[in-house]
């Protein structure tokens, strides 16, 4: 082995190697084998975590907002980093939703409220108004216009 270093934000180890017979150099990557994460849904069912589904939900709530694809991917990366630090193999959907809401709240209030309206399953306008009042967002959304 010639050289070894952390790669891909610490998710892999990159090693430069040299063949002892022919002196040819090559690179290998070692990845940590991760356990599959399952999301426990409100109805009691369970499904395998799907990054594409996470990104789609963030993208949908961010439609026509000044949030780039790179920012959406960055939010998904931050959420996945948090998921990997928990170390469990199951997580409730409400916990995952809270992580998404935290990411959106720090970037764009409108996208945050859009996501919250679906995530919290608002049935009536009073539910929506109550949420805005609890979060102190009514003034922030007026300023957005």
Task: Divide the 145 residues of the chain into consecutive groups of 10 and give the mean pLDDT of each group.
Answer: 70 88 91 82 94 96 96 95 86 94 93 87 77 68 53
Give the domain extent around 87: 35-144
Q: Are residues 7 and 61 in the same domain?
A: no
- Do 52 and 101 lie in one domain? The reply is yes
- Alpha-carbon separation of residue 75 from 48, 82, 101, 105, 117 (angstroms): 20, 11, 10, 11, 19
Burial class (CB in 10 A: 0-12, 13-18, 19+), 91: middle
Q: What is the pLDDT of residue 30?
A: 87
CB 94 within 8 A of CB 41: no
pLDDT value of residue 93: 94
pTM: 0.68
Pair 28, 43 in one domain: no
How many domains does the chain fold into? 2
Give the per-residue pLDDT at 36.
85
What pLDDT score does 137 carry? Answer: 61
Shared domain for 29 and 39, answered yes or no, is no
43 and 112 both lie in a single domain:
yes
Same domain flag for 96 and 76: yes
């Amino acid at each position: 082995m010639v050289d070894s270093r952390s790669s891909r934000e610490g998710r892999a180890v990159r090693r430069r190697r040299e063949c002892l017979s022919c002196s040819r150099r090559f690179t290998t990557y070692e990845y940590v084998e991760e356990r599959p994460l399952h999301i426990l849904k409100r109805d009691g069912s369970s499904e395998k975590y799907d990054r594409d589904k996470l990104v789609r939900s963030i993208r949908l709530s961010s439609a026509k907002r000044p949030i780039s694809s790179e920012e959406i991917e960055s939010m998904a990366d931050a959420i996945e980093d948090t998921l990997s630090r928990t170390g469990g193999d199951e997580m409730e959907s409400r916990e995952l939703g809270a992580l998404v809401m935290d990411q959106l709240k720090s970037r764009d209030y409108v996208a945050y409220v859009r996501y919250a309206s679906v995530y919290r399953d608002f049935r009536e306008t009073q539910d929506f108004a109550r949420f805005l009042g609890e979060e102190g967002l009514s003034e922030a959304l007026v300023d957005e216009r």
